[in-house]
Structure 1
């Protein structure tokens, strides 16, 4: 399967992408450049709640694949994002308790793609990622997911903590992965559940961790003290699967 390119360059191409209904993750604009065309791009980006970042010419030049960026480069998602409501509706349609995976700042597209693949196989109804400081739905993510991106909805939200609070009102309980938590085998992970996985370096952020009801630790016997984020997600996701089968 062929996926569309992730980078769009040039003023006309960027504004067409913004107006086409495609999900644009971020627009990079040459710092100090605010002529009429650029103002139109920024205005269109803000209509769709797309992040706009003003950067140096050197950075744009380094990002550019064509050398003809005209002071504007956009990152366009390889797939459109779902909404949190879509994820809950997915669970309802299947007659199942919601099982949502929330990713707190996963930056590596291979990790994100692998998590989407695992989520699909474990029966998760969808994944939620933050708009800032996280990888979006790039072509690399799509390829790494091995097609699972076609079946597992991914929603992008402004604030993970607020989203957790909203989902608690829908009856979900939340468990986050952290080495300092309780053994995952000692926790009740049945029912409507949200699994929170932190980023590759720092784990789950303090503010997000404070919103969670449980902190789950994976028992480890080796000589290193951490697992790859996608591997940790897989282990915890399948503990949820196991408990749902009991």
Structure 2
């Protein structure tokens, strides 16, 4: 009986109230249509972020630094995650229908039946950078899908940190975390105010900084050197800012002999990380 009660949605629960509000809005508007437009999500409670998706939520649960405040999950997702007894978890768990999570994330989000509300991870300062030989630096890359995908590649290739500016960078969000597929919990996020000054500081720490530029004077494989490498990537369209271009040790391009000479920034990052990892290993 206790488990059944845990898995029900009380009449006064957060999601029950959202359902009632949604039904009220529908009754005041146009009749329900078979192919109705996608619905937007709702804002997370103040001071919290909503993270969703099986891999994202599992990684957050396994991260001792992540403070989870609540979970909302479908029966199917609970089985897929092998959740066990939800009462044993250190935060409240509410069993809901998929549509209830849709009301929070929006109907376009692929939440896979699970969502958590958690405190965001706090970015670190450059002084917290450890002895990693490989870092990524983003110069105003603002698309959360791209940043999430970049984090995923960074973790896959063993980069120790992702450095971004305090402004013109996406905040932690469900969209970013879903694109990262759990990588958000596995890489240090370092936030700086002045990117050029941070790059100079990386030079002082022994990093060779290479800015990716489709018109760079040499290919990346022939440019990278040293025992510590920082790859610097610019935003879609604009690329690296002029100050950044003037501060890095070298500008380099990916060797692409095909008709298309540029890649999406997240794809370019994955290729550059592979090249950098081979350079560091002496391959």
Q: TM-score, normalised by structure 1?
A: 0.65
Spell out, residue by residue over 1:62-121, the C-alpha distance to the aligned partner (whole angstroms, 9 max, x if none). xxx9xxxxxxxxxx98432122222x22x2xxxx5x311000011111110011111111
1:138-177 paired onto structure 2 within 5 Å: 138-177=173-212
Render the CA deviation track for 1:1-59: whole Å, top value 9, x for unaligned.
xxxx99457xxx47x99xxxx9xxxxxxxxxxxxxxxxxxxxxxxxxxxxxxxxxxxxx
Give the SS at the match of 2:155: helix
Distance (Å, rounded) in 2 between the aligned partners of 1:8 and 1:159: 30
Going from structure 1 to structure 2, the CA distance change for 1:128 and 1:160 (only over 3 Å counts) comes to same
How many angstroms apart in 1 are the aligned matches of 2:204 and 2:280? 22
CA distance in 1, matches of 2:206, 2:42: 36
Which is greater in Rg? 2
Q: Distance in 1 between matches of 2:271 and 2:159?
A: 13
Q: How many residues align?
A: 175
**1:100 touches 1:124 (CA, 8 Å); kept in 2?**
yes
Report the secondary structure of 2:213's partner residue.
strand
2:124 to 78, 82, 89: 82
SS of the residue aligned with 2:214?
A: strand
SS in 2 for 1:204: coil
Shift >3 Å, 4+ stretches: 5-9
Secondary structure of residue in 1 paired with 2:171: coil
CA RMSD of aligned residues (A): 2.6
In the alignment, structure 1 segments of 5+ residues that lack a partner are 23-64, 66-75
Q: TM-score, normalised by structure 2?
A: 0.57
Instruction: Extract unaligned runs of 5+ from structure 2.
Output: 1-40, 50-65, 67-105, 107-117
